[in-house]
Amino acid sequence: MPGFIIRFICNVSAIFLLFVNCSAPLRNTGVVTPEKPADQQVERKATVDKESAERYFIMARDYERRGIVDMAEHHYELAYNFDPQSETLKDELVRRYIESEKTSKALILIKGQRTNQELSAKEKRQVVSIYVKMGEFEKAAEVLELIDERTDEEVYTLGLIYESIGKKDDALKYYMLYYGKNKSSIQIGYKIGKLLITSKRFTEAESLYTSMISELGPKPDVFVMLGGLKVVQKDTAEGLRLFEKALELDSLNEDALRSAAQIYLTRNDYANAIVNYEKLYNENELGDVYGRTLAIIYFYNKQYDKAENLLSELLKDGIDDYELHFYLGLVFAGQKKNDLAMIEFEKTLSIRNTFGDAWKEMCYLALKDKLYDDALQIAMRYQKTVPDNNAPLKLLGHVYMIRKEYLNAIESFQKSLTIDSTDVYSYFELGSAFERSKQYSEAAEAFSRVLAAKPDDPATCNYLGYMWAERGENLDSAKILISKALKADSSNGAFIDSYAWVLFQMGNIDSAYVYIEEAVKKVGDDPVVHMHKGEIHLKKKEYTKAIDAFRKSLEFEPEDPESIRNKILDIEKLINESGSKGK
């Protein structure tokens, strides 16, 4: 037998015998083997557990470093299981659970069966961060309130939390606590002031801003905040003065420039608004945001060349900006460059074909140039582009009204109302179309739908009242309606004319004459007003004056000039037969 086989067998035999001897019960040799005390065993196990915990902790760190987060979390758990008394391991595992959005596990690990009150300050802070992560802001605030010695940051956080959940009073309480220790923080002062203003605590807000000026000195931002408060209180004059005070301290203060400009715009003071917006545009990194506003103000101030140049400059970096093309179209229209305006509106629609304002401006330009077929085509294109919207149907109805195609207009407005049955504009225009097509009861019904939604709408009150006055029916109701219109706008010439006419139909000729004279002063280019004046003179048997008034009406292209000419002929015949020219 080969030697190496013999050696292998001997080795195996030796190992087997060793195993047998070790496995057999110990013989009583007379020698006592001492047992280790229990506390030594516990100590030994604790040492082994700590060593295991450290080994798993190191492995967890290594996995985390390599981005293997699941394995890292598993090994943190193993480490913590071996050493659950370790605050470090507990904190690391909590952090890992939070980062992996296992917030429920993190809460259980921190709290166990304990209440929030039983937690340490450190544990409460951990719980707060978990609730914030979960979006449970109210619970976060409840726990944060339990911490006796809160840091300034935690006080501020409480203010933020309460503000986010709409508890303004609580938010103010903690913001004010924070501000009491951080008086130099203008931003927190601004936040407190804003909350006071939204809570309508104007006196407190003003007191805050005044104290900030006393403590911090004349700071432009504080004057801006105080100016904003005055604007909210509708004292725009004082608000403007404070914004200008801020600009004396910092001529480029963005908030002050913008706020002052907005007041100028409400006063139609375009010149001063332009000065401010030019600074905002030229000095601000986000100048393009202000550029388009500046261009529009140039447009309203009829500085068309400046508007055109600025918009062209903005379009170099925003060639696909549909609004810039639209604004440029408005500028060209203002310059009466209608062909160029149409091109810009078409460019607008090539970028955003649902932009209703561009469709409307194109249509209005065509109507202004009396290109009624073009206007109709534009409205039809618009309706085809957005068939489920009632805006194009209203525009289409408007075009039909101008073309005097009243039945088509009625159909368009009725279709508009199938899309939006609450649209008072469509009901008003439908009433107008019915009236023009002599469907008076249908017109009255449509107008009544408008008045049901807007009982004192002056235009509707006047239209329905005048329609009845013209037909000599429901005169008492007509007078009440027209009176409402006049109450809303006492200087409106059309309303004054309607009132004169209802008085005439009621037989109050002298009163009617007083009102018609006033109407002529207001709208002397309206053929209807002069026609009414002629009728009143005729009723008063002032024949010469009646003829003069009717002839004046003819100068302004009335709808039915032939009937007015026939009236003049009839009066002249009456004069010849009676030999009298009237009073």
Per residue in 465-480, pLDDT (tens digit) is 999 999 999 999 999 9
* pLDDT classification of 13: cutoffs 50, 70, 90: very low
Q: What is the mean pLDDT of residues 317-340?
A: 96
Q: What are phi and psi of 250, to 5 degrees?
A: -145, 100
Exposed e or buried b per residue across 377-405, where buried means at least 16 C-beta atoms within 10 angstroms of its C-beta: ebbeebbeeeeebbbbbbbbbbbbbeeeb
299/292 Cα distance (integer angstroms): 11
Within 13 A of 264's CA, how many CA atoms are on the CB side? Answer: 20
Structure confidence at residue 455 (pLDDT): 96
Q: What is the mean pLDDT of residues 48-75?
A: 87
| Joined tokens for residue 36 | 């280790």
Q: Which of 513, 507, 563, 572 is nearest to 543 (CA)?
A: 572
Q: Which of 510, 502, 515, 440 is nearest to 466 (CA)?
A: 502
**Residue at 432: amino acid letter:** S
Structure confidence at residue 21 (pLDDT): 38
Task: Give the position of tokens 């009725």.
Answer: 414
225/275 Cα distance (integer angstroms): 22
Task: Judge whether residue 33 has pLDDT over 80.
Answer: no
Give the 3-state secondary structure of residue 34: coil
Task: Judge whether residue 56 has pLDDT over 90.
Answer: no
228/196 Cα distance (integer angstroms): 12
302 phi-psi bin (left φ>0, alpha ψ -120 to 50, beta other): left
Per residue in 145-157, pLDDT (tens digit) is 999 999 999 999 9
Q: What is the mean pLDDT of residues 181-190?
A: 87
Per residue in 113-124, pLDDT (tens digit) is 899 999 999 989
Residues 6+ apart with CB under 8 A from 392: 356, 359, 379, 382, 383, 385, 386
Runs of H (alpha helix) within 86-146: 87-99, 103-111, 121-134, 137-145
Exposed e or buried b per residue across 476-510, where buried means at least 16 C-beta atoms within 10 angstroms of its C-beta: eebbebbbbbbeeeeebbbbbbbbbbbbbbbeeee
360/206 Cα distance (integer angstroms): 46
Task: Judge whether residue 564 has pLDDT over 70.
Answer: yes
* pLDDT classification of 581: cutoffs 50, 70, 90: low
Return the minimum-mean-pLDDT range out of 92-96, 337-341, 532-536: 92-96
Structure confidence at residue 28 (pLDDT): 42
Q: Are 538 and 547 in contact (CB under 8 A)?
A: no
> How far is CA 421 from its chain centroid?
25
Of residues 203 and 100, more confidently modeled: 203
Q: Which of 260, 294, 262 is nearest to 277 (CA)?
A: 294
Q: Are 196 and 208 in contact (CB under 8 A)?
A: yes
**Residue at 348: amino acid letter:** T
Per residue in 254-309, pLDDT (tens digit) is 999 999 999 999 999 999 999 999 999 998 876 678 999 999 999 999 999 999 99
Task: Judge whether residue 404 has pLDDT over 90.
Answer: yes
Task: Give the position of tokens 């400046």.
Answer: 306
Return the minimum-mean-pLDDT range out of 126-135, 271-280, 400-409, 417-426: 126-135
* pLDDT classification of 15: cutoffs 50, 70, 90: very low
* pLDDT classification of 583: cutoffs 50, 70, 90: low
| Three-state secondary structure of 559-580 | CCHHHHHHHHHHHHHHHHHHCC
388/579 Cα distance (integer angstroms): 67
* pLDDT classification of 359: cutoffs 50, 70, 90: very high
Q: What is the dihedral of CA 317, 318, 324, 325, to 10 degrees?
A: 110
Rounded to the nearest integer, the mean pLDDT of the chain is: 90
505/507 Cα distance (integer angstroms): 5
Give the 3-state secondary structure of residue 147: coil
Calculate the alpha carbon distances from 165 to 28, 48, 80 in Å: 79, 50, 37
Structure confidence at residue 36 (pLDDT): 55
Structure confidence at residue 34 (pLDDT): 52
Residues 6+ apart with CB under 8 A from 80: 53, 86, 89, 90, 93
Task: Judge whether residue 17 has pLDDT over 80.
Answer: no
| Joined tokens for residue 329 | 């179209």
- Cα angle 464, 468, 469 (rounded to 5 degrees) comes to 115
Cβ count within 10 A of residue 371: 15
311/307 Cα distance (integer angstroms): 6
Structure confidence at residue 7 (pLDDT): 39
Q: What is the mean pLDDT of residues 227-237?
A: 95
455/570 Cα distance (integer angstroms): 42
532/285 Cα distance (integer angstroms): 61
**Residue at 286: amino acid letter:** L
56/123 Cα distance (integer angstroms): 24
Per residue in 493-515, pLDDT (tens digit) is 999 999 999 999 999 999 999 99
Structure confidence at residue 100 (pLDDT): 86
Q: Are 172 and 195 in contact (CB under 8 A)?
A: yes
